[in-house]
Amino acid sequence: MPPLLSADLKRPAVRLANVTKTFGSHTAVRDLSLAVPRGCTYGFIGPNGSGKTTTIRTILHIFHPDSGEVEVLGERSTRAANDRIGYLPEERGLYKKMTVRRVLAYYAALKGMDRADAAKASTEWLAKMGLSEWADKKVEALSKGMAQKIQFIAAVIARPELLILDEPFSGLDPVNLEVLRAAILELRATGTTIIFSTHDMAMAEIMCDFIFMIYRGNKVLDGTLADIQRQFGEDTVRVGCGGGAELLRGLPGVEMVRDLGQLQELRHGDPQALLRDLAPRTTVRHFEVCKPSLHDIFIRIAKPDLQEMQVPKTTGGGA
Amino acid sequence: MNKVWRVAATEYLNAVRSKAFIIGVLAVPLIMAISIGAQFYAQKKTDVTPRRFAVLDRSGQLYPALAAKVQARTDGLRAGGKSVSVALKGQSLKVDLPPQAEFVVEEFKFSGDDLKAAELQLSERVRRKELFAFVIIGPNVLDPRATNGTEVLYHTQTPTYQDLPAWVENTLSGEIRERRFTAAGVDSKQVRELSRSVTLLRLGLAEQKATGEVVQAKRENRIATLVVPVGGMVLLYLVVMTSAPALLNTVLEEKMQKISEVLLASVAPFELMLGKLLGTVMVSLTLSALYLGSLTWVLWRFEQLSNVPGQLFAWFFLFQVLALLMYGSVFLAIGAACNEIRDAQSLMFPVMMVVMVPYLMFIPVMESPTSPFSRGISLFPPATPMLMFLRLAIPPGPTWWEVVLGVVLTTAFMLGCVWASAKIFRIGILSQGQAPNLTKLVKWVFSK
């Protein structure tokens, strides 16, 4: 993580203060406060329907909060900063009948970019993404992966100061994923603030400086990965043993066994006691006490949703 | 406002560069050209095989005259093709009439009184293609007081062919009428002269100039009093209705393809809506400029342009813009509120009922443009653009205060439509799930 100056932290790229947004009787976001420092990558995580998209749309002033304050790139409660924001929504949308070059020119024009700058930028980005020969083809002729890269170019073509990416890697093959990841890291290196919404916890762990988790409209996590892991203690154990997950699930004190194939990840309040329990029963090949992964933390918080599928809803609020 | 223009320009260029627009522009003249061409082609393909028919003249007096007329007709056809000339000021169009088949007549001699046997015999000849048809002239056909045997019977296997029976009917009727006059001792030429119908001349009103000179009333010009008003109104309706409903599809498509959210990250919903609306106005104005330009050229070519008052063009464009903004905003709102074309269709129904009002009401307005009904309906804002235009196009036109009131009311109504549609558009454009009903749309309009 690059060093963040205190001055930058004082003037965050995005600041939400006690924002609440309701739709009818449903509260999508409740009393949310958040500060996204400039130049960092901020991961937004949370189960489906937890309020991530509402938060993003509020930052973009597509939605107006019922209460609270939204400040983006120094502009308070107006769309004035929107030309400096790039946005890649989760559900991609491109004009199928337009050529790639014209789509990019239109999206750039809507961000206030002049025609010559837009043409130059679109040529550069298409070359970078390996799509130069598709510039004059209609969007409907592109594969899903190509269309996704075009959508990404549309989001970044106007050189935004703040880039909001909602599931940027979904549906991409590993090669295209790496191309896109490299482009995002390059933008971050040049000072672009990136808000990155994802369900891929491993990707969030390696790409984000900060993680924000929203659950049922409430902020439940906000901080660096290390801070968050610290909150959840060192009760995670990775075990490789004969009998695997089946054996481990039967042992006292073992919770949340996750089968990783060669290894199993679990939680136990006293790892030493677990090792003592295991030794007489089976051969232990691997035993590692580690910090909980983001995936594990996510499951711990969002687990009630799965339980609620069987029992009636109890209360709102986060974990 | 800059973004509004960018959206409008993109919408405009997307539309005018599309194949649909080019086909749409060319469709009307193309369909006309194809239909005219097809008619000429079909005329050339007319079956001109001679039609032979037999006549059983039970009156015993008419066959020779009929045979002579058949011969005269044949001679006329062989002398050269017929044509008609359409004369307009300074120009004359010669149109060839379609070629016609010759008729060949033969007399069927009938001895005895078994008419059924004769009918059967002739019918067999028709079946064997020796004859095309046969005619039986009743024995008392010349007697105006007779009640039986006065008909002329026409038998054929091809009832769809009209030329022969029509010619036989006309020719025999004329011949029989002449003979009846002669038998009654009446001079048929005198009868024709005495029964000639009067000619009605349609005129406007006489005027008196400031100098006191009285200007005679001018002869009514059907182009100026009928073709221009109705044609202009229909064209106005056409250019509005080919452009405004397309907005619904555009917005719905953007919503279904998830483009709306990307756009809304860059432009405010109202800017987006206004841009689309202005883009459509520009498309429609292009369309009407092309059509009106072509029509103006045709009228000028045939020296009929003086029948179109110049200010009518200005009224056309003004009412077109008002109608487009009014209807277009409503279609935009419906498109934004729905998620599927099926949902949109159910909401379209009440809107289309209102939009159809001018089309359903134009005939009574045209017939009596100053009646209380015409005045009232032309001040009903959704109908004003078409019906007030129609009234303006029919001389002498409505009073000035009616026109001003119509424009003011329509402008106010249009602004109301844009305001309400903007409210619906703002909420609807990102809404998902079940399409709202009318009650919900009204709630959206009055929501904060």
Residue of B nearest to A88 (CA): B262
Amino acid A199 reads: H
Asked if A62 and B430 come within 8 Å (Cβ–Cβ), the reply is yes
Residue of A nearest to B431 (CA): A23
pLDDT in tens, A28-87: 999 999 999 998 999 998 888 889 999 999 999 888 899 999 999 988 877 888 889 999
State residue A56 phi and psi, 5-degree precision: -65, -45
**Helix H or strand E encompassing A169:** none
Asked if A93 and B260 come within 8 Å (Cβ–Cβ), the reply is yes
Contacts of A104 in chain B (CB under 8 A): none
Rounded Cα gap, residues B80 and B76, in angstroms:
7
Residues of A with CB under 8 A from a CB of B: 57, 60, 62, 79, 82-83, 85, 87, 89, 91-98, 106-107, 109-112, 151, 154
**B96 Cα to chain A: minimum distance (Å):** 48
The owner of tokens 């009228």 is B299
What CA–CA distances, in Å, run from B383 to A7, A207, B246, B386? 62, 61, 20, 6
How crowded is residue A146: how many other Cβ atoms within 10 Å of its Cβ? 18
Query: Is residue B398 helix, strand or coil?
Result: coil
pLDDT band of residue B167 (cuts 50, 70, 90) is: very high
CB A281 within 8 Å of CB A243: yes
Q: How far is CA A107 from the centre of its chain?
A: 24
Contacts of B10 in chain A (CB under 8 A): 106, 109
Asked if A82 and B265 come within 8 Å (Cβ–Cβ), the reply is yes
Residue B445, chain A, CB below 8 Å: the answer is no
Asked if B254 and A106 come within 8 Å (Cβ–Cβ), the reply is no
CB B55 within 8 Å of CB B108: yes
Count of residues making up chain A: 319
Stretch among A140-154, B7-21, B274-288, B365-379 having the lowest mean pLDDT: B7-21
Residue A308 burial class via C-beta count within 10 angstroms: exposed 0-12, middle 13-18, buried 19 and up: exposed
Residue of A nearest to B261 (CA): A89
CB A20 within 8 Å of CB A32: yes
Task: For residue B430, give the nearest of B259, B250, B314 by alpha carbon.
Answer: B259
Asked if A97 and B262 come within 8 Å (Cβ–Cβ), the reply is no
Asked if A110 and B257 come within 8 Å (Cβ–Cβ), the reply is no
**Residues 15 through 54 of chain B touching chain A, CB cutoff 8 Å:** 18
Count of residues making up chain B: 448
Which residue out of A55, A94, A106, A140 would a mutagenesis test of the B interface target, given it has the greatest number of B Cβ atoms within 10 Å? A106
Contacts of A94 in chain B (CB under 8 A): 257, 259
Contacts of A51-54 spanning 24+ positions with Cβ under 8 A: A51/A214, A51/A215, A51/A216, A51/A217, A51/A218, A52/A166, A52/A197, A52/A214, A53/A90, A53/A166, A53/A197, A54/A21, A54/A28, A54/A29, A54/A217
State residue B3 phi and psi, 5-degree precision: -70, -35
Amino acid A314 reads: T
Rounded Cα gap, residues A16 and B15, in angstroms:
41
Instruction: Quote the Cα angle for A9-A14-A20, to 5°.
Output: 125
CB B240 within 8 Å of CB B284: yes
Predicted complex ipTM: 0.78
Residue of B nearest to A103 (CA): B10
Residue of A nearest to B275 (CA): A110
Tokens of A130: 């390996």
Peptide bond into A89 cis (omega under 30): no
**B347 Cα to chain A: minimum distance (Å):** 23
Residue of A nearest to B9 (CA): A106
The owner of tokens 């711990």 is A300
Please check the confidence at residue B315 and state whether its pLDDT lies above 60: yes
Residue of B nearest to A112 (CA): B3
Residue of B nearest to A78 (CA): B268
DSSP summary character for residue B97: P
Contacts of B266 in chain A (CB under 8 A): 82-83, 107, 110-111
> Over the range B266-298, which residues count as b (16 or more CB within 10 Å of their CB) and which as e?
bbbbbbbbbbbbbbbbbbbbbbbeebbeebeee
Rounded Cα gap, residues A195 and A87, in angstroms:
9
The owner of tokens 């799965």 is A306
Rounded Cα gap, residues B171 and B303, in angstroms:
41
What CA–CA distances, in Å, run from B255 to B250, B341, B422? 9, 11, 16
Asked if B258 and A89 come within 8 Å (Cβ–Cβ), the reply is yes
Residue B147, chain A, CB below 8 Å: the answer is no
pLDDT in tens, B199-253: 888 887 888 888 888 888 777 777 777 888 888 999 999 889 888 888 898 898 8
- Counting as low any pLDDT under 50, the low residues of chain A are 1-5, 8, 306, 308-319
pLDDT in tens, B386-408: 999 999 998 888 999 999 999 99
Tokens of A203: 């990707």
CB neighbours of B110 closer than 8 A, spacing ≥ 6? B56, B58, B118
What CA–CA distances, in Å, run from B404 to B314, B316, B388, B439? 14, 15, 10, 34
Rounded Cα gap, residues A58 and A29, in angstroms:
10
**What pLDDT, on a 0 to 100 scale, did the predictor assign at position B89?**
54
Please check the confidence at residue B350 and state whether its pLDDT lies above 80: yes
Asked if B263 and A110 come within 8 Å (Cβ–Cβ), the reply is yes
Query: Is residue A125 helix, strand or coil?
Result: helix
Contacts of A23 in chain B (CB under 8 A): none
Contacts of A83 in chain B (CB under 8 A): 266
DSSP summary character for residue A268: -
CB B161 within 8 Å of CB B82: no
**What pLDDT, on a 0 to 100 scale, did the predictor assign at position B52?**
95
Asked if A110 and B2 come within 8 Å (Cβ–Cβ), the reply is no
Minimal Cβ distance to A85: which of B6, B14, B265: B265
Alpha helix positions (H), A28-143: 52-59, 100-110, 115-128
**B419 Cα to chain A: minimum distance (Å):** 19
Rounded Cα gap, residues B324 and A27, in angstroms:
39
Q: What percent of chain B has pLDDT over 70?
A: 96
Per the prediction, chain B carries an average pLDDT of 87
Asked if A94 and B259 come within 8 Å (Cβ–Cβ), the reply is yes
